[in-house]
Amino acid sequence: MSRLLPHPGLSVLLVVMWMVMVGDLTFGTLFLGLVLGFAIPLFTAPWWPGRPKVRYLSALGYCGLVVWDIIIANFEVAAIILFKPNRDLRPAWLAIPLELTSPEAITVFAGTISLTPGTVSSDISACGKYLLVHALHAPDPASEIAKVKARYEARLMRIFV
Amino acid sequence: MSVPLPLAEVIVSLLIVIGGSFALIGSWGLVRLPSLMERLHGPTKATTLGLGGMLLGSVAYFQLVRGEWTTHELLVSVFLFVTAPISANLIAKVHLHRLRLGEASEAAGPAGRPAPPTADTDWATHEAPHLGTPGDMAGD
């Protein structure tokens, strides 16, 4: 199982992406998708050693949460851009201490922070234990850090084990 | 689908107008926010809800008016969501680097310059990755 299908999640993703890209539901498409989903993980396996295990069901729930947060945060940032004068704006650099250790998990965490409007992840510390995030409007940086950690990092800790 | 044509057109145009408004607000943010790091927040917004609204409008148009099922819009949004944080990250890193070099055209924004997180480590743009972290050159 693990030698023939080293990365089942990637295989499923490749098949689905292939079907979506071709855009029709025929046996030929599915067959070619299955070939790709089978072969690509097999041949790229040497390039991702020691990757973390992923709980896919929780990951789906996490995607839903992030999409919802993106929608809410879009309205918040739109309100800031339209109605808040520059002198009332409190941009801040946040140094978020990381409890996640695997590069994959930190990448997803940083990507989430960048996608939710109002925060952009800018850099990681040389020791890999802090994430530098720029917030558009954070009058209270400490509570902002606590919010991001509780909402996203705690969930990612349970997804990447 | 058995949605009458006028209703389908209302749905499609609503989605396009919502998407277009968010793209417009994002661009306005690019104009009026004070410095580079704040302006970076505008485009990340336009690519999420702005583009999402327009792509949903496209899906709804093909589905309700033409009666075809399209999935390419989904792929467009997936690739945008994967790539948008990376370009924002690179722009931010270039900004940090130029701030550190003290280039005259690069002004720090209202947030100032980011302080190092602790005394014995600095941000990765300024300092090589420490031994034992995934970016170190030990095993490469």
Task: Please indicate if any CB of chain A lies within 8 Å of the CB of B114.
Answer: yes
Mean pLDDT of A127-153: 89
Task: Please indicate if any CB of chain A lies within 8 Å of the CB of B125.
Answer: yes
Distances (CA, A) of A122 to A28, A111, B11, B50: 44, 10, 38, 23
List of domains in chain A: 8-47 (no CATH), 56-159 (3.30.70)
Is pLDDT larger for residue B112 or for residue A131? A131
Task: Please indicate if any CB of chain B lies within 8 Å of the CB of A101.
Answer: no
pLDDT-derived band of residue B136, with 50, 70 and 90 as boundaries? low
**Identity of the residue numbered B137:** M
For B:34-93, CB contacts with A below 8 A are 34, 37-38, 40-42, 44-45, 48-49, 69-72, 74-75, 78, 81-82, 84-85, 88-89, 92-93
- Does residue A10 contact residue A45 with C-beta atoms inside 8 Å? no
pLDDT over 70, % of chain B: 91
Question: Mind listing the pLDDT tens digit for each residue in A47-83?
Answer: 877 777 888 888 899 999 998 998 888 888 888 888 8
Instruction: State residue A103's pLDDT score.
Output: 84
* pTM given for the model: 0.86
**B33: its two tokens:** 């926010």
Determine whether the interchain pair B114/A103 forms a contact, defined as Cβ–Cβ distance below 8 Å: no
Instruction: State residue B139's pLDDT score.
Output: 53
Question: Mind listing the pLDDT tens digit for each residue in B30-39?
Answer: 888 888 888 8
Instruction: State residue A152's pLDDT score.
Output: 92
Task: Please indicate if any CB of chain B lies within 8 Å of the CB of A25.
Answer: no
pLDDT-derived band of residue A109, with 50, 70 and 90 as boundaries? very high
Task: Please state, rounded to an integer, the average pLDDT across all residues of chain B.
Answer: 83
Instruction: State residue B114's pLDDT score.
Output: 84
ipTM of the complex: 0.82
Task: Please indicate if any CB of chain B lies within 8 Å of the CB of A130.
Answer: yes
**A142: its two tokens:** 């400490």
pLDDT higher than 80, residue A144: yes
Instruction: State residue A78's pLDDT score.
Output: 87
